[in-house]
Amino acid sequence: MSSPTRTRAIAVEGAVALALAVALLASCAHTESAKVSRLTRSCEQGSAKDCIQLGKLYEDGNEARRDLDRAAAFYERACNARYGVACVSWALLYLGDEAPATNPRLGISILERTCAAGIDEPCGPLGSYYNEGKYVPADERRGAQLLRRSCDAHFEVSCGVLGEMYLKGRGVPRDPERGASLLQRSCDARVWAHCAQLGILETAGKELPKDERRALVHLKKGCDGRQANACTMAGILYMQGKGVSKDQTEAAHFFRLGCEDGLAASCAILAGLYERGEGVERNAVEAKKFYRRACAGGDKRACSR
């Protein structure tokens, strides 16, 4: 049994630890409040960039309590100063599943008004909606015009979307060479989904010439950007020895990355490698684990393994 003195010492230590924890939390809250206060003052004094940063803080809820109404107000203020990225962020708040109040009509109106006012960045998302016929009547020709304007203003993701249209001849004359060039421009700007798309197209050899060595370069970039389909395709190329020397260990590495990024097919292939001991040490427990993960991700065949 502990002595009274020992008990009192433990109680004091506990009280000190609690006091330190409370002080630390108060310090974090003070730091957050100070940052938000500083950005708010700067925004009010005319710094549109700080208004955008505030909008992002309130949208994400990482360093300030999540408040989408405040996020919208700060994005609107920066948009009124003709910062196109802020206009896009403001509009997208109303076009997502959760918003201050999901309001596609308002979101599209913001994109239409700001694009018409000569702010180029919002023209890109607006063009994509016209291509898809989402929230607006489908009109691929108008979509292409809007995307081209946004691309010309160096909103690079729009270049990639426009590139896809040239590859398929949607809203523009089919021009695979121009399409590939625009996708490459977007990839070079670190739009990882477009790196992945280039790699997949170069592997398939339909819209673009088949070039598995070049495809692997793009697939690795896409995989680095957490594009699970790029990781999986890179794994397949290594597993089959296409465009690169066959390497089951490297294949397993890429399938693991694809699985970690949520692609059930990658989990299932990795499970098979563990089952057979290819590229990894044979391990029935690991195989079962990855089959379960593939099953949970929607791969029905994995459910029975």
| Structural contact between residues 150 and 114, judged by C-beta atoms closer than 8 angstroms | no
CB burial of 246-271 (b: ≥16 within 10 Å; e: otherwise) equals eebebbbbbbbbbbebebbbbbbbbb
Give 63's DSSP letter. S
Long-range contacts for 267-276 (Cβ within 8 Å, ≥24 apart)? 267/291, 267/293, 267/294, 267/297, 267/299, 267/302, 268/294, 268/299, 268/301, 268/302, 269/232, 269/235, 269/239, 271/302, 271/305, 273/248
Please report which confidence band the pLDDT of residue 34 belongs to, taking 50, 70 and 90 as the band edges. confident
Structure tokens at 211: 């070039």
**What is the spatial distance between Cα 269 and Cα 291, in angstroms, rounded to a whole number?**
9
Question: Cα 20 to the chain's mean position, in Å?
Answer: 38
Residue type (1 letter), 141? R
Q: Which two tokens stand for residue 277?
A: 């001991």
Q: How far apart are CA 302 and CA 292, in angstroms?
A: 7
pLDDT surpasses 50 at 297: yes
Query: What pLDDT score does 9 carry?
Result: 43
Please state, rounded to an integer, the average pLDDT across all residues of the chain. 90
* Of the candidates 206, 205, 265, the residue with the CA atom closest to the CA atom of residue 230: 265
Within the chain, where are the H helices? 4-44, 48-60, 68-80, 84-95, 104-116, 123-132, 140-152, 156-168, 176-188, 192-204, 212-224, 228-240, 248-260, 264-276, 284-296, 300-303
Domain range list for the chain: 37-114
* Residue the block writes with tokens 């694809």: 258
* pLDDT grade for 96, boundaries at 50, 70 and 90: confident
Nearest Cα to 115, choosing from 156, 68, 155, 77? 155
pTM confidence score: 0.80
Helix axes 156-168, 192-204, angle to 10 degrees: 20
The neighbour count for residue 65, using CB atoms within 10 Å, is 10
Length of the chain measured in residues: 305
pLDDT of residue 97: 63
Count Cβ atoms below 10 Å from residue 177 Cβ, excluding itself.
11
For residue 143, give the nearest of 133, 154, 156, 135 by alpha carbon: 133
The pLDDT of residue 6: 43
Question: Quick one: pLDDT at residue 98?
Answer: 60
Give domain 37-114's CATH architecture. Alpha Horseshoe (1.25)
Long-range contacts of 67-75, Cβ-Cβ distance < 8 Å, separation of 24 or more: 68/93, 68/98, 68/99, 68/100, 69/100, 72/100, 74/43, 75/51
Does residue 29 surpass a pLDDT of 90?
Answer: no
Lowest-pLDDT range of 23-37, 79-93, 230-244, 259-273 = 23-37
Residue 33: predicted pLDDT: 72
The confidence band for 74, taking pLDDT boundaries of 50, 70 and 90, is: very high
